[in-house]
A and B are shown apart, each in its own frame.
Chain A
Amino acid sequence: MYSDKVIDHFTNPRNVGEIENADGVGEKVSSSCGDRMKVFLKVEDGIIQDIKFQTYGCGAAIASSSMMSELVLGKTLQEALDLTNDQVAEALDGLPAPKLHCSNLAADALHEAIKNFQATSA
């Protein structure tokens, strides 16, 4: 039921972990399934230099987290803010319909981390 890309990112998730003294930390809990994702950012000159995540959830949630981290690493904060849940799901070659909400978690947690960075660095 999962695409090869989902399986790949689930089996070998990129950027798992946390960043000590992160510039921005954000998290999101899914209201529909209780899945939870936490994102840590290192930001320099408006660019995401490092990103790590921790996720509690199903295969789709973990794969979405991993894919999101790859999509925004090295990108500007604005590019990261423009990342949508649909783009994460598309980059994974789609998610089964009942699991689409899991990709929401990834972009939302990322955006929370960016907001946290912007609020604390302002």
Chain B
Amino acid sequence: MKRIYMDNNATTAVRPEVMEAMLPFYREHFGNPSSVHWAGRATGAALEAAREQVARLINCAPAEIVFTSCGSEGDNLAIKGAADVLRDRGNHIITTAVEHPAVLSTCEYLKKQGFEVTYLPVDGSGMLDVVALEAAITEKTILISVMWANNETGTLFPIEQIGAVARKHKIVFHTDAVQAIGRVPVDVQAAQVDLLAISGHKIGAPKGVGALYVRKGIRLTPLIHGGHQERNRRAGTHNLPGIVGLGMACELAASDLETAAQRLRQLRDRLEQGLLAAIPESLVNGHPTERLTNTLNISFNYIEGEAVLLFLDMQGIAASSGSACMSDSFGQSHVIEAMGVDPMMANAAIRFGLGYDNTDADVDRVLEILPTIVKKLRDMSPFYHERDVNKATA
């Protein structure tokens, strides 16, 4: 049975060129980049080369890149670090109801420390209202944290407009760009972003490495105190193989982003249209146009997403329901719930995240298998059998 991986919003396989670039940094060039001897000098140069590769992808200066261990660390460092530095100026943070838990839980933590947090709602397509965002700003607002692209639906927020609002009011602007990076063009100058978190493993680099863009002049209290690494912004010996991998993944993304995005859009659109045509009462969750080209979040009425995923898994197809981080907990996704989707449809949400390795044959296979799975589960569902009765009496 051919295995098909369509959960690239959860994580991606390391790209072959990335792995090749990393391998010499395990045995051959193993030195600590902070050491002054020959072993350290070789890796020190590689560290700075990787920093330049990351900086080029998002259009910033290399010195503005801080390497981290993951996207969550970047979000934590940005939000807690900025809030701590700015707490004399105010205690109000604006974010959205649909952020990744790395942002939401960090804001919840800050609430316990005396900060006030506004969670902006989204509309039925998961879109944010920039006018409402500006209206939420008070004299005490010190930080705006809004994700670039939603991890569950792929909906893209108007980051450039939000950046302009933040700049106008002189408020620090952080964005979680973990899902956006490598999938849409990300330019921190055009978007007027001050802090931007990325993660390696979503773009073909390994797990355990990420980066935070920190605009020159923005001060942060570090999360990890220790040595002088990363200009005192993040202590800890560098994960050099990972950082080299992240650099290479960013370089690859910079060179093939447009082609890859177009190719994935064609695959995704075919999957989406095929499923909508084959399965009555199915619904796409997310914005029709302002959406990552690789992401499809879709609900099939009368059945639960988890059951669909199990059947897909048995056929070798890996997809997910909502965010992978939520798969051990109950209840529907906070993202789909915030969109006001009917609870049964919210419970049915399935996410496909296409990636570099997916092909037309993969899409064909899902289109062949999934309608049968949905039919089987609907045949089992009491809601499905009662639907005509309910419609007749409605």
Contacts and interface: CB of A to CB of B under 8 A. Distances in A.
Contacts, number: 51
A62 B380 contact: yes
Given A11-B314, A35-B304, A62-B307, A56 B330 contact: no
A13 interface: yes
Interface string B359-394: 000000000000000000001111101000000000
Residues of B contacting A: mostly: helix
A32 interface: yes
Contacts of B343: 34
B381 A7 contact: no
A36 B307 contact: no
Interface string A24-47: 000100001111111000000000
Given A32-B330, A33-B331, A38-B382, A56 B310 contact: no
A94 interface: no
A54 interface: yes
B329 A56 contact: no
A34 B347 contact: yes
B302 interface: yes
A43 B355 CA distance: 54
B380 A55 contact: yes
B252 to A, nearest CB: 34
B306 interface: yes
Interface size of B as a range: 20 to 34
A27 B330 CA distance: 21
A57 interface: yes
B321 to A, nearest CB: 10
A59 interface: yes
Contacts of B307: 10, 57-59, 62
Contacts of B302: 56
Residues of A contacting B: mostly: mixed
B248 interface: no
Contacts of B330: 32-33, 98
A18 interface: yes
B382 A10 contact: no
Contacts of B379: 16
B303 interface: yes
B306 A59 contact: yes
Given A34-B343, A35-B304, A98-B329, A59 B380 contact: no
Central interface residue in B302, B307, B383, by most chain A CB within 10 Å: B307
A27 B385 CA distance: 14
A-B pairs with lowest CB-CB distance, top 3: A54-B382, A58-B306, A59-B310
Interface of A: 2, 7, 10-11, 13, 16, 18, 27, 32-38, 54-59, 62, 98
28 contacts: A2-B310, A7-B314, A10-B307, A11-B311, A16-B379, A33-B331, A34-B343, A34-B344, A34-B347, A36-B383, A37-B382, A54-B380, A54-B381, A54-B385, A56-B303, A56-B304, A56-B380, A56-B381, A58-B304, A58-B307, A58-B310, A59-B306, A59-B307, A59-B310, A62-B380, A98-B328, A98-B329, A98-B330
